Homo-oligomer: A and B are copies of this chain.
Protein backbone atom coordinates (compact mmCIF):
# COMPACT_ATOMS: atom_id res chain seq x y z
CA UNK A 1 0.00 0.00 0.00
CA UNK A 2 1.32 3.45 -0.81
CA UNK A 3 -0.26 6.82 -0.12
CA UNK A 4 -0.92 9.30 -2.89
CA UNK A 5 -2.39 12.76 -3.25
CA UNK A 6 -4.89 13.37 -6.02
CA UNK A 7 -5.95 16.87 -7.07
CA UNK A 8 -8.70 17.75 -9.51
CA UNK A 9 -9.71 21.14 -10.86
CA UNK A 10 -12.47 21.49 -13.46
CA UNK A 11 -15.72 23.20 -14.31
CA UNK A 12 -18.35 22.27 -11.73
CA UNK A 13 -21.31 20.04 -12.55
CA UNK A 14 -23.38 17.51 -10.57
CA UNK A 15 -21.84 14.09 -10.04
CA UNK A 16 -18.15 14.98 -9.94
CA UNK A 17 -17.56 13.74 -6.39
CA UNK A 18 -19.24 10.45 -7.19
CA UNK A 19 -17.33 10.05 -10.45
CA UNK A 20 -13.93 10.54 -8.81
CA UNK A 21 -14.77 8.44 -5.78
CA UNK A 22 -16.01 5.63 -7.99
CA UNK A 23 -12.83 5.77 -10.08
CA UNK A 24 -10.66 5.57 -6.97
CA UNK A 25 -12.68 2.71 -5.52
CA UNK A 26 -12.57 0.92 -8.88
CA UNK A 27 -8.77 1.11 -8.86
CA UNK A 28 -8.70 -0.51 -5.42
CA UNK A 29 -7.93 2.71 -3.59
CA UNK A 30 -9.26 3.76 -0.19
CA UNK A 31 -9.91 7.47 0.31
CA UNK A 32 -8.43 8.37 3.70
CA UNK A 33 -8.89 12.12 3.42
CA UNK A 34 -10.97 14.20 1.03
CA UNK A 35 -11.68 17.87 0.68
CA UNK A 36 -13.45 19.79 -2.05
CA UNK A 37 -14.62 23.29 -2.77
CA UNK A 38 -16.40 25.07 -5.58
CA UNK A 39 -15.44 28.70 -6.20
CA UNK A 40 -17.15 30.67 -8.96
CA UNK A 41 -18.11 27.55 -10.87
CA UNK A 42 -14.73 25.88 -10.55
CA UNK A 43 -14.69 22.56 -8.71
CA UNK A 44 -11.49 21.81 -6.74
CA UNK A 45 -10.74 18.59 -4.93
CA UNK A 46 -7.85 17.07 -3.00
CA UNK A 47 -7.88 13.43 -2.00
CA UNK A 48 -5.45 11.31 -0.02
CA UNK A 49 -5.65 7.73 -1.22
CA UNK A 50 -4.12 4.46 -0.03
CA UNK A 51 -3.60 2.17 -2.98
CA UNK A 52 -1.59 -0.95 -3.85
CA UNK A 53 -0.69 0.25 -7.37
CA UNK A 54 -0.15 3.95 -8.07
CA UNK A 55 -0.36 3.44 -11.83
CA UNK A 56 -3.85 2.05 -11.59
CA UNK A 57 -4.87 5.13 -9.61
CA UNK A 58 -3.45 7.54 -12.17
CA UNK A 59 -5.11 5.68 -15.01
CA UNK A 60 -8.48 5.51 -13.30
CA UNK A 61 -8.54 9.18 -12.29
CA UNK A 62 -7.41 10.39 -15.73
CA UNK A 63 -10.00 8.15 -17.31
CA UNK A 64 -12.79 9.61 -15.19
CA UNK A 65 -11.52 13.12 -15.91
CA UNK A 66 -11.94 12.77 -19.66
CA UNK A 67 -15.61 13.61 -19.20
CA UNK A 68 -14.90 16.78 -17.14
CA UNK A 69 -14.57 20.25 -18.68
CA UNK A 70 -11.42 22.38 -18.44
CA UNK A 71 -9.92 19.75 -16.21
CA UNK A 72 -6.46 19.46 -14.71
CA UNK A 73 -5.55 16.42 -12.64
CA UNK A 74 -2.51 15.57 -10.54
CA UNK A 75 -1.43 12.35 -8.81
CA UNK A 76 1.63 12.47 -6.54
CA UNK A 77 3.22 10.21 -3.95
CA UNK A 78 2.56 11.77 -0.54
CA UNK A 79 6.16 11.35 0.58
CA UNK A 80 8.52 13.11 -1.81
CA UNK A 81 11.38 15.36 -0.81
CA UNK A 82 10.73 18.85 -2.25
CA UNK A 83 13.47 20.99 -3.71
CA UNK A 84 13.42 24.71 -2.92
CA UNK A 85 15.32 27.58 -4.46
CA UNK A 86 15.56 30.46 -2.03
CA UNK A 87 16.16 34.03 -3.16
CA UNK A 88 17.57 36.30 -0.43
CA UNK A 89 18.79 39.85 0.01
CA UNK A 90 19.98 41.60 3.15
CA UNK A 91 18.09 39.76 5.91
CA UNK A 92 18.50 36.11 6.77
CA UNK A 93 15.70 35.18 9.16
CA UNK A 94 13.47 33.50 6.58
CA UNK A 95 16.43 31.64 5.09
CA UNK A 96 17.47 30.41 8.55
CA UNK A 97 13.94 29.38 9.31
CA UNK A 98 13.50 27.40 6.09
CA UNK A 99 16.93 25.81 6.46
CA UNK A 100 16.11 24.75 10.01
CA UNK A 101 12.82 23.23 8.92
CA UNK A 102 14.55 21.25 6.18
CA UNK A 103 17.37 20.15 8.49
CA UNK A 104 15.10 18.99 11.31
CA UNK A 105 12.63 17.30 8.98
CA UNK A 106 9.83 19.72 9.78
CA UNK A 107 9.60 20.31 6.02
CA UNK A 108 10.15 17.28 3.83
CA UNK A 109 12.38 19.34 1.54
CA UNK A 110 15.88 20.60 0.87
CA UNK A 111 17.23 23.95 -0.23
CA UNK A 112 18.88 23.27 -3.58
CA UNK A 113 20.36 26.75 -3.96
CA UNK A 114 20.37 30.22 -2.45
CA UNK A 115 20.46 32.98 -5.03
CA UNK A 116 21.00 36.55 -3.88
CA UNK A 117 21.42 40.08 -5.18
CA UNK A 118 23.82 41.03 -2.36
CA UNK A 119 26.55 39.18 -0.52
CA UNK A 120 24.90 39.67 2.88
CA UNK A 121 23.72 36.06 3.26
CA UNK A 122 26.77 34.34 1.76
CA UNK A 123 28.23 33.53 5.18
CA UNK A 124 24.91 32.18 6.37
CA UNK A 125 24.54 29.97 3.32
CA UNK A 126 28.08 28.67 3.72
CA UNK A 127 27.56 27.96 7.43
CA UNK A 128 24.40 26.07 6.56
CA UNK A 129 26.11 24.17 3.76
CA UNK A 130 23.93 25.60 1.01
CA UNK A 131 25.11 26.48 -2.52
CA UNK A 132 25.15 30.27 -2.81
CA UNK A 133 24.99 32.14 -6.12
CA UNK A 134 25.37 35.91 -6.23
CA UNK A 135 23.67 37.63 -9.13
CA UNK A 136 24.53 41.25 -8.37
CA UNK A 137 22.28 44.18 -9.16
CA UNK A 138 22.99 45.58 -12.61
CA UNK A 139 25.08 48.74 -12.45
CA UNK A 140 22.62 50.66 -14.59
CA UNK A 141 18.87 50.21 -14.47
CA UNK A 142 17.28 49.63 -17.88
CA UNK A 143 14.83 47.15 -19.36
CA UNK A 144 17.77 45.33 -20.92
CA UNK A 145 19.84 45.16 -17.76
CA UNK A 146 16.82 43.99 -15.78
CA UNK A 147 16.08 41.29 -18.30
CA UNK A 148 19.71 40.17 -18.31
CA UNK A 149 19.66 40.06 -14.51
CA UNK A 150 16.49 38.00 -14.38
CA UNK A 151 17.98 35.72 -17.00
CA UNK A 152 21.03 35.19 -14.83
CA UNK A 153 18.85 34.42 -11.80
CA UNK A 154 16.87 31.91 -13.83
CA UNK A 155 20.07 30.27 -15.08
CA UNK A 156 21.41 30.03 -11.52
CA UNK A 157 18.23 28.29 -10.43
CA UNK A 158 18.06 25.94 -13.37
CA UNK A 159 21.67 24.92 -13.01
CA UNK A 160 20.62 23.11 -9.83
CA UNK A 161 18.27 20.70 -11.54
CA UNK A 162 14.55 20.44 -10.88
CA UNK A 163 13.12 23.01 -8.50
CA UNK A 164 9.62 22.62 -7.05
CA UNK A 165 9.19 26.18 -5.93
CA UNK A 166 11.15 29.43 -5.91
CA UNK A 167 10.86 31.09 -2.51
CA UNK A 168 11.45 34.84 -2.32
CA UNK A 169 12.63 35.05 1.29
CA UNK A 170 12.61 38.83 1.73
CA UNK A 171 14.23 39.16 -1.73
CA UNK A 172 14.14 42.92 -2.28
CA UNK A 173 14.17 43.01 -6.04
CA UNK A 174 11.26 42.73 -8.44
CA UNK A 175 11.43 39.88 -10.93
CA UNK A 176 10.04 40.64 -14.38
CA UNK A 177 7.18 39.09 -16.29
CA UNK A 178 9.51 36.98 -18.43
CA UNK A 179 11.00 35.35 -15.33
CA UNK A 180 7.55 34.70 -13.91
CA UNK A 181 6.34 33.16 -17.16
CA UNK A 182 9.40 30.94 -17.25
CA UNK A 183 8.79 29.42 -13.82
CA UNK A 184 5.01 29.74 -13.74
CA UNK A 185 2.95 31.99 -11.50
CA UNK A 186 2.05 29.12 -9.25
CA UNK A 187 5.65 28.18 -8.61
CA UNK A 188 7.06 31.39 -7.10
CA UNK A 189 6.11 32.31 -3.52
CA UNK A 190 6.88 35.72 -2.02
CA UNK A 191 6.59 36.88 1.56
CA UNK A 192 5.43 40.47 1.91
CA UNK A 193 5.83 42.16 5.28
CA UNK A 194 2.33 43.56 5.68
CA UNK A 195 -1.26 42.36 5.73
CA UNK A 196 -2.01 42.89 2.07
CA UNK A 197 -3.66 44.78 0.47
CA UNK A 198 -2.49 47.32 3.05
CA UNK A 199 1.01 48.68 2.53
CA UNK A 200 1.76 47.31 -0.92
CA UNK A 201 5.36 48.08 -1.94
CA UNK A 202 8.31 49.28 0.07
CA UNK A 203 8.77 50.18 3.73
CA UNK A 204 5.54 48.71 5.09
CA UNK A 205 6.71 48.82 8.71
CA UNK A 206 7.49 52.53 8.58
CA UNK A 207 4.13 53.16 6.97
CA UNK A 208 2.36 50.93 9.50
CA UNK A 209 3.95 52.87 12.34
CA UNK A 210 3.03 56.17 10.77
CA UNK A 211 -0.61 55.09 10.40
CA UNK A 212 -0.67 53.97 14.02
CA UNK A 213 -1.98 50.47 13.38
CA UNK A 214 -2.49 48.15 16.35
CA UNK A 215 -1.42 45.04 14.49
CA UNK A 216 1.13 44.14 11.85
CA UNK A 217 0.99 41.32 9.38
CA UNK A 218 2.72 39.17 6.83
CA UNK A 219 1.37 37.75 3.59
CA UNK A 220 2.69 34.85 1.52
CA UNK A 221 1.44 34.87 -2.06
CA UNK A 222 2.17 33.51 -5.49
CA UNK A 223 4.06 36.05 -7.54
CA UNK A 224 2.37 37.59 -10.55
CA UNK A 225 3.44 40.42 -12.83
CA UNK A 226 1.62 42.98 -10.68
CA UNK A 227 3.54 43.89 -7.50
CA UNK A 228 2.17 42.29 -4.29
CA UNK A 229 -1.09 41.49 -6.04
CA UNK A 230 -0.86 37.73 -6.63
CA UNK A 231 -3.08 35.06 -5.06
CA UNK A 232 -2.66 34.99 -1.28
CA UNK A 233 -1.76 31.62 0.24
CA UNK A 234 -1.27 32.49 3.92
CA UNK A 235 -1.62 35.58 6.05
CA UNK A 236 -1.05 36.27 9.71
CA UNK A 237 -1.11 39.25 12.05
CA UNK A 238 0.11 40.01 15.54
CA UNK A 239 -0.90 42.79 17.92
CA UNK A 240 1.53 45.62 18.51
CA UNK A 241 1.47 48.36 21.09
CA UNK A 242 2.15 52.07 20.95
CA UNK A 243 5.59 51.32 22.39
CA UNK A 244 6.73 49.72 19.15
CA UNK A 245 8.63 51.99 16.79
CA UNK A 246 9.49 50.90 13.23
CA UNK A 247 12.49 48.87 14.42
CA UNK A 248 10.38 47.02 16.96
CA UNK A 249 7.78 46.29 14.29
CA UNK A 250 10.54 44.97 12.07
CA UNK A 251 11.69 42.67 14.85
CA UNK A 252 8.20 41.45 15.74
CA UNK A 253 7.53 41.03 12.04
CA UNK A 254 10.41 38.62 11.52
CA UNK A 255 8.66 35.77 13.31
CA UNK A 256 5.44 36.46 11.45
CA UNK A 257 7.22 36.50 8.09
CA UNK A 258 9.08 33.27 8.73
CA UNK A 259 5.99 31.45 10.01
CA UNK A 260 3.69 32.67 7.26
CA UNK A 261 6.20 31.86 4.54
CA UNK A 262 6.83 28.38 5.95
CA UNK A 263 3.09 27.70 6.10
CA UNK A 264 2.72 28.65 2.45
CA UNK A 265 5.71 26.56 1.35
CA UNK A 266 4.37 23.58 3.27
CA UNK A 267 0.92 23.93 1.72
CA UNK A 268 2.48 24.20 -1.73
CA UNK A 269 4.68 21.13 -1.30
CA UNK A 270 1.74 19.10 0.01
CA UNK A 271 -0.34 20.02 -3.05
CA UNK A 272 -2.90 21.79 -0.89
CA UNK A 273 -3.07 25.03 -2.89
CA UNK A 274 -5.37 25.45 -5.87
CA UNK A 275 -5.53 28.83 -7.61
CA UNK A 276 -8.94 29.95 -8.85
CA UNK A 277 -8.82 33.34 -10.51
CA UNK A 278 -6.81 35.52 -8.16
CA UNK A 279 -7.80 33.57 -5.03
CA UNK A 280 -6.47 30.37 -3.56
CA UNK A 281 -8.21 27.36 -2.16
CA UNK A 282 -5.93 25.96 0.56
CA UNK A 283 -7.11 22.48 1.53
Contacts and interface: CB of A to CB of B under 8 A. Distances in A.
Given A17-B31, A24-B18, A281-B242, A91 B106 contact: no
A70 interface: no
Interface stretch (A71-79, A146-154, A206-214): A206-214
Contact of A30 (B14, B96, B215): B14
Interface string A124-155: 10011100000000000000000000000000
Interface in A229-244: 231-237, 239, 241-243
Interface string A10-46: 0000110110011011001111111111110000000
Nearest to A195: B195
Interface string A163-196: 0000000000000000000000000000000011
B18 A212 contact: no
Contact of A104 (B96, B104, B214, B242): B96
A53 interface: no
A198 interface: yes
A198 B199 CA distance: 8
A211 B232 contact: yes
Per assembly, the copies of the chain total 4
A127 B124 contact: no
A93 interface: yes
A201 interface: no
A156 to B, nearest CB: 23
Contacts of A36: 31, 33-34
Contacts of A92: 103-104
Contacts of A22: 18, 21-22
Given A93-B106, A124-B103, A280 B34 contact: no
Contact of A215 (B124, B128, B195): B195
A278 interface: yes
A80 interface: no
Interface string A235-272: 11101011100000001001100010000000000000
A279 interface: yes
A119 interface: no
Nearest to A39: B242
8 A-B pairs with the lowest CB-CB distances in the bound complex, closest first: A212-B279, A18-B21, A96-B100, A214-B235, A198-B198, A14-B30, A18-B25, A242-B281
A232 to B, nearest CB: 5
Contact of A236 (B14, B106, B215): B215
A212 B198 contact: no
A197 interface: yes
B237 A282 contact: no
Chain B CB within 10 Å, residue with most, of A127, A212, A213, A277: A212
